[in-house]
Amino acid sequence: VESLDRLIAATPEWEGPHPYRSLRARLRLQSEWVDRGARPVTLGATRGGRDLFAFRIGPSTGVATVLMAGIHALEWIGVEVLERLVAEILAQGTDREIIVVPIVNLDGFALVDDDLRTGRRAIRRATPSGVDLNRNWPTFHASATSLVTRFLPGIGGTGSGPASEPEVAGILRLLDAVVDEGRTIDRALSLHSFGRMILVPWGGRLGRPDAALFAAARAIQSAIPLWYGVRQISWWLPGHRVPGMEVDHLHARYGAVALLVECSLGGISPFRLGSWLHPFRWYNPPDPSREIEALAPALRQFVTASH
């Protein structure tokens, strides 16, 4: 917790891109989670030297869920949804452990926070050192993604090897330690933006996964009062296999029912020219509250395995 305080102190204080909170305000919120019973665990330092934290909520025995967001730097709505889920879980309790990694790409997120604070416009997805943290997981890891992605700004590569990035390696160390206690991680949820889609493994191969994954995705879909699609990642764009994704690894390595939710439709409006020009607006709706209200009950039910 001491290093969380240090991290907060080292993060610029400003009001944030209204109505979204600044990074500093989010880190403060995380320290409030600790006051309310979440157990902080450091996952080690990021490439940029920031302490990366996970927060463990609920009993430290039995089955567990992994909940993460912020793998991609501009996808703040996913982090907003995660924060709502954590607030509700802390208030209402949980029968199983929830292992929360609120902002996986902390360095990239900090850079976006800085862009917004200083009025810079940049497309950012990867870490500042150029790795897409959703291509760095060991399952189906490949040394390169498709040609196209190498020429798009801010997209990033797959890293020098499986789990080469300290963020991914740190999460895997924690999850492996849980499994080494003889426990099972049977659910995983990763929150991204945008597209209103619930994505199912596999990304790295065309074969169909266990039917339980589609069943879980459809159960969430039917509980959301907005239109969300359900797709297998590798079948979404035919012939486009995606190497090294978090959901593939969480499913293959731990057997978790692992789902990726692309939250919201983003924030581009044909009536507001400014929304076309600002990358932050591509990924994040101007008012996140409606999406959060719609998603939270369905996602909380999945994460806590309650009915």
**Measured from the CB atom, is 75 or 186 closer to Zn ion?**
75
**Measured from the CB atom, is 75 or 80 closer to Zn ion?**
75
Q: Closest approach of Cβ 271 to Zn ion, in Å?
A: 26
Residue 196 in 3-state DSSP? coil
Q: Closest approach of Cβ 199 to Zn ion, in Å?
A: 10
In the DSSP assignment, the letter for residue 265 is: -
**Measured from the CB atom, is 72 or 281 closer to Zn ion?**
72
* Sign, CA torsion 116/121/126/127: negative
**Measured from the CB atom, is 96 or 192 closer to Zn ion?**
192
The structure tokens listed for 86 are 């954590």
Q: How many residues does the chain have?
A: 307
Q: Closest approach of Cβ 72 to Zn ion, in Å?
A: 4
Q: Closest approach of Cβ 196 to Zn ion, in Å?
A: 13
Kindly give the residue spans of alpha helices, DSSP state H, lying in 205-272: 211-223, 233-236, 246-254
Dist CA 294 CA 226 (whole Å): 7
**Measured from the CB atom, is 4 or 199 closer to Zn ion?**
199
**Measured from the CB atom, is 33 or 140 closer to Zn ion?**
140
Name beta bridge partners: 100: 55, 67
First to last CA, the chain: 34
Q: Closest approach of Cβ 61 to Zn ion, in Å?
A: 32
**Measured from the CB atom, is 96 or 281 closer to Zn ion?**
281
Q: Closest approach of Cβ 151 to Zn ion, in Å?
A: 19
Kindly give the residue spans of alpha helices, DSSP state H, lying in the chain: 2-9, 23-35, 76-92, 106-118, 147-151, 166-180, 211-223, 233-236, 246-254, 273-277, 279-283, 289-304
**Measured from the CB atom, is 234 or 304 closer to Zn ion?**
234
Q: Closest approach of Cβ 31 to Zn ion, in Å?
A: 26
Q: Closest approach of Cβ 191 to Zn ion, in Å?
A: 9
Q: CB neighbours of 14 closer than 8 A, spacing ≥ 6?
A: 22, 24, 117
Q: Closest approach of Cβ 222 to Zn ion, in Å?
A: 24
User: In Å, what is the CA distance from 204 to each residue of 9, 232, 233, 248?
Assistant: 40, 10, 8, 7
**Measured from the CB atom, is 58 or 78 closer to Zn ion?**
78
Residues near Zn ion (CB under 5 A) are 72, 75, 192
Dist CA 307 CA 301 (whole Å): 6
Dist CA 248 CA 245 (whole Å): 5
Dist CA 165 CA 28 (whole Å): 25
